Structures are given as structure tokens and as C-alpha cells.
Amino acid sequence: MKMQWVPMASILLALCIAIAWAADEPSNEKELKGAKKKPAEKPALSTEGMSAEQKAWEKTLEENLGSFYWPRYVEAKKKGRETAWDYVKDDPALPRVLLIGDSISRGYTVPVRHELAGKVNVHRAPANCGSTALGLKKLDLWLGDGKWDVIHFNFGIHDRNTPPKDYAERLEKIVERLKATGATLIWASSTPIPPNSDKYEEGSSVRTNRIAEEIMKKHGIAIDDLYSFIKPDLARYQNPKDCHFKGEGYRRLGKQVAAKILDALKARGK
């Protein structure tokens, strides 16, 4: 029995590792912290042949994606896959747009780029932007030194356990900082949480959206109501018992986000 138990334990361990690496991503701040604690050799991404600007971007990603996202990004780039965090070389003749948000935003970043190809330089913050607490710490880094024409942003699902008063105060501060950029701002409401979720509280997006809506109306900021947009077809586009979406769902969200960005740019005369 002892000789049989050892290989079985090894098999179980291998399966556990495979499942962990196949997971889409940490679902909240606690899991993000847990991922950072896992000992693992940090993979390297070759920067040979890259411009100085791209090398600087890859360095920023390495320093900010953490031990969960960075290895997956490196693996994707080695396989030649397109990702939300790919370096964007600006066409100076086109407007610049920044997407800020959590993993839902990350999911629709590439579809937005496809929709706006040749029309807009679409950038993404170098992070899963998580909660408003993280946003306040990292916002200056995410904004960088360039000028933005439109900023499409969201904080909500990662704030589902944040006291409403704290969420409102932090979001207010974020809005004030974003307004100082001179960009046209678009707030994205948080998408729905499905019933019977193992990790998320159904209805939490309604609660944070209600608070955010009041703040956006106060500041005259346009709202991209992704919650109402996707809710009628949620069962078709969303993963069961999870806040994340299937590829088709992200493509649908991407078209909606792209349309709102174009509307904002037209209003700016771009």
C-alpha cells in the first residue's frame, strides 16, 4: 500500500497545480494577496528588439501585474497571443483612450481595440484595477504622463464588501483626480452577479452601482450602463455561478464600450 500511495499523492498534487494555473484569475483582494504569497520563480520576458518605450512598459507590467498575472502574461506573449496588456504604440493622429477597471474590463479590452482599430489608440491600466482603495494608491501610475481624450473607468465588484460610506468617499476622490486630467470621463456600471455564486454576493453590483450613479450624476459624468446592457442575456454570455464572461460575452461588452467611447470622442470634436 505504501508504494501505491506515493505515486497517487504525486498525481493529486500535479492535478491541484494544474487546476490552480487553469483558474481564470483571483476573484477578490484577499485572493490576490494569497497569490502573491505563493513561492514561484518569476518568469522573464525577452525585450530584445523592443523600443525604449516598449521596454519601459514591459517593466511597468512586471512590477505591477504580480505573481499571478505576470506569469500568465509572459506565457501568452511567448505563444504570440494578444492580451489586454499589450504595448500600444500611439498613432499621433488618433485620440488616446484609457480603460481602467477590474477583470471584467480586462476581458473586454481586446474587443474594444478591435472595434476601434484605426480610429483610437486604446490603452489599458497596467493592472487588474480592483477596488477603490487600490485605485487611490495606483491612479497616478495608471494615468502616466500622457494626455487622455477619454477615460472609461469602473470600480465596484471588488468593493462589494467595502462599507458604502468608504466606497462613496474613495470613488469621489478618484473622480476628482480623473477630472483633473481634462479627459472626458465615462463611468461603467458593474455587471451583474449571477445567482448561486460560490464567491460573489448576488445583488452587490446593484448596491455599488446605486452609490456610483449618484456621484456620477453629481459630476455630470456619462454612465455606460453595462449592467442593464448585459443583464437580459446574462445566462447566455456569463459563466455559471461566476461574475466573469465567456468570450462571446466580452465581445458583446466590447462593442458597447467602443460605441460609448466613439460618442464621447464625437462630442469632443475628435
Question: Same domain, yes or no, for 131 and 224?
Answer: yes
Q: What is the pLDDT of residue 53?
A: 96
- Examine residue 31 and state whether it is found in any structural domain, yes or no: no
Question: Same domain, yes or no, for 128 and 70?
Answer: no
Domain boundary among 27, 58, 87: 87
Considering the chain, what percentage of its residues have pLDDT values greater than 70? Answer: 85
Q: What is the pLDDT of residue 28?
A: 41
> What CATH number corresponds to the domain at position 176?
3.40.50.1110
Question: Same domain, yes or no, for 69 and 163?
Answer: no
Question: Same domain, yes or no, for 175 and 127?
Answer: yes
Q: What is the pLDDT of residue 8?
A: 42
Residues present in the chain in total:
270
> Which of the two residues, 35 and 65, has the higher pLDDT score?
65
User: What mean pLDDT comes out for the span 69-74?
Assistant: 95
**pLDDT, averaged across the chain:** 88
What is the domain count for the chain? 2
Question: Same domain, yes or no, for 243 and 141?
Answer: yes
Question: Same domain, yes or no, for 58 and 105?
Answer: no
User: What mean pLDDT comes out for the span 224-242?
Assistant: 95
Q: What is the pLDDT of residue 102?
A: 96
pLDDT bin (cut points 50, 70, 90) of residue 198 is confident
- Examine residue 30 and state whether it is found in any structural domain, yes or no: no
Question: Same domain, yes or no, for 187 and 95?
Answer: yes
Domain boundary among 87, 109, 136: 87
Question: Same domain, yes or no, for 169 and 72?
Answer: no
pLDDT at 64 over 50: yes
Q: What is the pLDDT of residue 40?
A: 60
Question: Same domain, yes or no, for 130 and 168?
Answer: yes
Q: What is the pLDDT of residue 5?
A: 40
Question: Same domain, yes or no, for 242 and 221?
Answer: yes
User: What mean pLDDT comes out for the span 100-120?
Assistant: 98
> Which of the two residues, 43 and 9, has the higher pLDDT score?
43
Considering the chain, what percentage of its residues have pLDDT values greater than 90? Answer: 78
Alpha carbon distance 60, 126 (integer Å): 7
Question: Same domain, yes or no, for 120 and 245?
Answer: yes
- Examine residue 7 and state whether it is found in any structural domain, yes or no: no
**Residue type (1 letter), 208:** T
Q: Which domain holds residue 178?
A: 90-267
- Examine residue 24 and state whether it is found in any structural domain, yes or no: no
Reading the block at residue 213, the C-alpha cell is 450613479
pLDDT at 84 over 50: yes
Q: What is the pLDDT of residue 38?
A: 52
pLDDT at 187 over 80: yes
CB atoms within 10 A of CB 241: 13
